[in-house]
């Protein structure tokens, strides 16, 4: 029997960062907990980022995940909003990295496609599918449901991440050997 793996999914946001913890044993998913870390919009950016850092640190310490998955930044027309989201995402990547945890990143469309079967699913569809996959899941916000969806996506793609890391070029490897490995991985993926 496969040992359970605890996965923390993070949906970064400056105002609200969703988080969700699941366990995966083989192909079986189990809900653990979820919620939102918030920052005070009246504070300067540095203090808001500190609030996110402290909140995510509490989650990592409290749930002791084995692996972490973070949604990639969605680029929109508002450059300032995208930059602020990038700051929040940096905190979401940094906290688990400082704890020595492996962190994987997933595009929003891949999360939607993995969980709902369509890359342009809306929030209601994501929430419905998360509830279908894990009937015991209790989330009060779309951010928490999205974080659970990110964790589910990682549960479905973690084997390919492990394969890629096992076959990653090692220091001192020739460029030709690295290119051959990259080509082989591209065919497999």
56 φ/ψ angles, rounded to the nearest 5 degrees: -70, -35
Q: Which of 40, 72, 122, 143 is catalytic?
A: 143
Q: What strands lie across the sheet with 5-11, from one edge to the other?
A: 28-38, 16-25, 5-11, 67-71, 103-106
Q: Which of 33, 71, 78, 105 is catalytic?
A: 71
To the query of whether residue 78 is one of the catalytic residues in this protein, the response is no
Structure tokens at 146: 């999205």
To the query of whether residue 143 is one of the catalytic residues in this protein, the response is yes
Directed axis angle between helix 45-63 and helix 79-98, to 10°?
A: 40
Residue 7, SS3? strand
Q: Which of 11, 33, 67, 105 is catalytic?
A: 11
To the query of whether residue 33 is one of the catalytic residues in this protein, the response is no
11 φ/ψ angles, rounded to the nearest 5 degrees: -110, 95
Active-site amino acid positions = 11, 71, 143
């Amino acid at each position: 029997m496969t040992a359970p793996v605890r996965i923390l999914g993070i949906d970064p946001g400056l105002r609200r960062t969703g988080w969700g913890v699941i366990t995966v044993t083989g192909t079986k998913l189990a809900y653990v907990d979820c919620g939102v870390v918030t920052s005070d919009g009246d504070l300067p950016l540095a203090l808001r980022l500190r609030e996110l850092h402290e909140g995510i640190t509490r989650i990592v310490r409290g749930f002791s995940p084995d692996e972490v998955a973070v949604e990639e930044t969605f680029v929109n027309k508002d450059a300032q909003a995208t930059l602020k989201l990038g700051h929040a995402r940096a905190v979401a990547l940094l906290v688990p990295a400082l704890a020595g945890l492996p962190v994987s990143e997933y595009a929003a469309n891949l999360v939607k496609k993995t969980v709902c079967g369509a890359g342009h699913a809306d929030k209601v569809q994501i929430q419905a599918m998360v509830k279908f996959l894990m009937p015991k899941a209790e989330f009060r916000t779309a951010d928490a449901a999205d974080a659970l969806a990110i964790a589910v996506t990682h549960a479905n793609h973690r084997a390919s991440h492990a394969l890629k890391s096992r076959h990653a070029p090692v220091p001192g490897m020739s460029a030709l050997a690295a290119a051959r490995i990259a080509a082989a991985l591209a065919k497999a993926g």
